[in-house]
């Protein structure tokens, strides 16, 4: 074939230039479509990432602290942060103080804010509970040991959400931080409950380990703590002194101070007069009324071990220095205490175990913010606890059946997951109405009380109002003073053990801790 013919044949089988141009334009459009599709996917992913970021998904999982080599997420540290924060805010609210903002300065000298304080407390708690949890697991403890406690704690949170009007998810964020969810909360609650059980059990092991020689050695140096005191005390406040005259002008400081001194002298004179009349057989309640005292600031024949008498009481040292039958007047900041010691010595009676069911009476507040319990509320609480007693009496009437009812009905958070059980109870541990029944000499194991009211006397300070149903388990081998000695020794030794264990799990915040709170 000639060269010219071959060239002609190649031209005959080639693509038309128009077709080539069209193909190029189509390819260009295809590349643009792909490019725009990729850009669209990237944009969609960016929007999704932004939404996820705003939801807190990533932040919640960031490491906010390290605890002994273990990472703690923002949400997990938030649990400890808000636990500390909520406790403090409840304290402020209960006292009627303004609730501080997290950014407010708590310590003027150091400049520490409330947030700094809550975060510091959160890290301390993270260290403690991580240490206890690790130790508990290594000793065979698991969530199965505390499944009822975990369930109860989670139910309490859900009840809180319901009563507050929040949805559950919104309530978790309000109560435990914006990154909290159900899974994280349950994990933290479970770790805390496992830790608490192990700590309690280990404490009981320590407590039971002391011999009589150990108790006697402790007694030798701690009679003031272990002796039981029976005493009466009256608080006589000094009359309040005006610092402004009738026109609203400030009264000079010298005059105000002189009037305060005179008011204190008058209070002291009244306290001394009260002691004289009381020693001559004066009626306690009559003296309280005659001298215009507040009943809740006075006690008649109170019975307490020395360790149960707060070291912050200004008359404690004066009481310790009295002999039986003696009295004294102790100066306070704005008044005087008149104190009488009736008896003192080691209580050789035995501690007692008890179970109980508490039904609270509904409270309201009057226009001045005072707690009010209506007759209808008392009647409703009585009807409810009577129904519990009827259910007990209709059954086999055993300690086990009472324990089941306590877990089912009792509103005492300190015992409604362990069958209402309190062990080694001694005088001064509970309110007088409870102890009058429990420590009656005629009491026999298996006895069950009628409903016993607490808080109906509005002149007596109380932090709850309701009815007790009490089951008497029995008397222990340990005496009151031995029980107090064991508790004191165990407290010191358990604290030392806990601090040594916690030191192995130091907690340190990371940069992501700024997301906490």
* Residues 296/460, Cβ–Cβ less than 8 Å: yes
Cα radius of gyration rounded to whole Å, the chain: 35
Our CA angle for 309, 315, 319, nearest 5°, is: 75
Quick check: helix, strand or coil at residue 494?
Answer: helix
Domains 228-345 and 350-479 share a fold: yes
Checking phi first, is residue 325 left (phi over 0); if not, alpha (psi -120 to 50) or beta?
Answer: left
DSSP letter (8 states) at residue 250: B
Topology adopted by domain 228-345: Chitinase A; domain 3 (3.10.50)
Q: How far is CA 292 from the centre of its chain?
A: 36
pLDDT in the model for residue 459: 53
H or E segment to which residue 381 belongs: helix 375-393
* Residues 479/350, Cβ–Cβ less than 8 Å: yes
* Residues 422/352, Cβ–Cβ less than 8 Å: no
pLDDT in the model for residue 315: 95
pLDDT in tens, the chain (517 residues): 444 444 444 444 444 555 555 555 566 655 555 555 554 444 444 444 434 444 455 577 789 999 998 999 999 999 999 999 998 888 887 777 888 899 999 988 899 999 999 999 999 999 999 999 999 999 999 999 999 889 989 998 998 888 888 899 999 999 998 899 999 999 999 999 999 999 999 999 999 999 999 999 999 999 999 999 999 999 999 999 898 888 888 888 999 899 999 999 999 999 999 999 999 999 999 999 999 999 989 999 998 889 889 888 999 999 999 999 999 999 999 999 999 999 999 999 999 999 999 999 988 877 776 778 899 999 999 999 999 999 999 999 999 999 999 999 999 988 888 899 999 998 878 888 999 999 999 999 999 999 999 887 655 556 678 999 999 999 999 999 999 999 999 999 999 999 999 999 999 999 999 999 8
Instruction: Tell me the C-alpha distance between 460 and 155, whole Å.
Output: 33
Residue ranges per structural domain of the chain: 7-55, 63-208, 228-345, 350-479
* Residues 291/274, Cβ–Cβ less than 8 Å: yes
Dump the DSSP string for 266-318. Answer: HHHHHHHHHHHHHHTT--HHHHHHHTT--GGG-EEEEEEEGGGS-TT-TTHHH
* Residues 288/211, Cβ–Cβ less than 8 Å: no
Instruction: Tell me the C-alpha distance between 516 and 116, whole Å.
Output: 11
- Angle, nearest 10°, between helix axes 182-208 and 114-138? 70
* Unique residue bearing structure tokens 């947030």: 115
* Unique residue bearing structure tokens 């944009």: 43
For domain 350-479, give its CATH number from 3.40.50.300, 3.20.20.140, 3.10.50.40, 2.40.50.320.
3.10.50.40
Q: Which stretches of 280-354 are DSSP H helices?
A: 284-290, 316-320
Instruction: Tell me the C-alpha distance between 185 and 172, whole Å.
Output: 8
Q: Give pTM, 2 decimals.
A: 0.72
Instruction: Tell me the C-alpha distance between 56 and 179, whole Å.
Output: 6
DSSP letter (8 states) at residue 144: G
Our CA angle for 253, 258, 260, nearest 5°, is: 95
pLDDT in the model for residue 464: 78
Phi, psi of 189 (to 5 degrees): -65, -40
Instruction: Tell me the C-alpha distance between 121 and 13, whole Å.
Output: 86
């Amino acid at each position: 074939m000639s060269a010219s013919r071959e060239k002609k044949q190649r031209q005959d089988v080639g693509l038309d230039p128009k077709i080539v141009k069209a193909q190029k334009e189509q390819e260009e459009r295809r590349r643009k479509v792909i490019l725009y599709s990729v850009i669209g996917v990237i944009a969609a992913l960016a929007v999704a990432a932004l939404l996820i970021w705003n939801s807190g998904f990533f932040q919640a999982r960031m490491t906010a602290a390290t605890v002994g080599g273990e990472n703690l997420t923002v949400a997990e540290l938030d649990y400890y942060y808000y636990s500390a924060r909520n406790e403090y805010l409840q304290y402020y609210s209960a006292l009627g103080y303004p609730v501080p903002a997290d950014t407010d300065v708590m310590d003027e000298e150091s400049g520490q804010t409330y947030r700094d304080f809550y975060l510091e407390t959160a890290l301390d708690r993270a260290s403690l509970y991580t240490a206890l949890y690790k130790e508990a697991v290594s000793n065979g403890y698991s969530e199965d040991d505390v499944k009822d406690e975990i369930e109860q704690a989670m139910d309490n949170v859900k009840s809180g959400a319901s009563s507050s009007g929040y949805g559950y998810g919104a309530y978790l964020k309000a109560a435990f931080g914006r990154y909290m969810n159900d899974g994280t909360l349950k994990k933290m609650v479970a770790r805390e409950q496992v830790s608490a059980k192990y700590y309690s059990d280990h404490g009981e092991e320590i407590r039971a380990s002391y011999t009589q020689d150990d108790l006697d050695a402790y007694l030798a140096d701690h009679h003031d703590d272990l002796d039981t005191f029976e005493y009466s005390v009256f608080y006589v406040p000094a009359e309040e002194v005006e610092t402004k005259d009738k026109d609203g002008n400030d009264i000079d400081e010298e005059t105000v101070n002189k009037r305060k001194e005179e008011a204190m002298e008058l209070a002291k004179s009244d306290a001394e007069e009260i002691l004289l009349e009381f020693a001559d057989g004066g009626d306690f309640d009559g003296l309280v009324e005659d001298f215009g005292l507040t009943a809740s600031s006075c006690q008649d024949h109170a019975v307490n071990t020395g360790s149960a008498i707060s070291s912050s009481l200004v008359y404690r040292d004066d009481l310790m220095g009295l002999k039986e039958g003696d009295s004294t007047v102790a100066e306070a900041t704005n008044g005087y205490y008149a104190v009488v010691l009736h008896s003192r010595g080691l209580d050789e009676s035995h501690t007692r175990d008890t179970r109980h069911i508490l039904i609270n009476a509904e409270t309201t507040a009057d226009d001045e913010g005072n707690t009010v319990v209506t007759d209808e509320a008392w009647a409703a609480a009585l009807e409810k606890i009577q129904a519990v007693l009827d259910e007990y009496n209709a059954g086999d009437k055993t300690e086990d059946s009472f324990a089941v009812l306590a877990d089912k009905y009792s509103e005492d958070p300190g015992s409604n997951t362990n069958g209402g059980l309190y062990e080694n109870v001694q005088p001064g541990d509970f309110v007088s109405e409870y102890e009058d029944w429990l420590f009656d000499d005629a009491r026999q194991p298996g006895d069950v009380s009628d409903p016993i009211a607490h808080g109906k006397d509005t002149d007596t300070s109380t932090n709850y109002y309701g009815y007790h149903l009490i089951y008497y388990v029995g008397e222990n081998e340990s005496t009151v003073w031995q029980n107090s000695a064991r508790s004191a020794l165990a407290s010191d030794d358990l604290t030392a053990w806990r601090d040594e264990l916690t030191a192995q799990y130091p907690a340190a915040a990371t940069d992501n801790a700024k997301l906490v709170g």
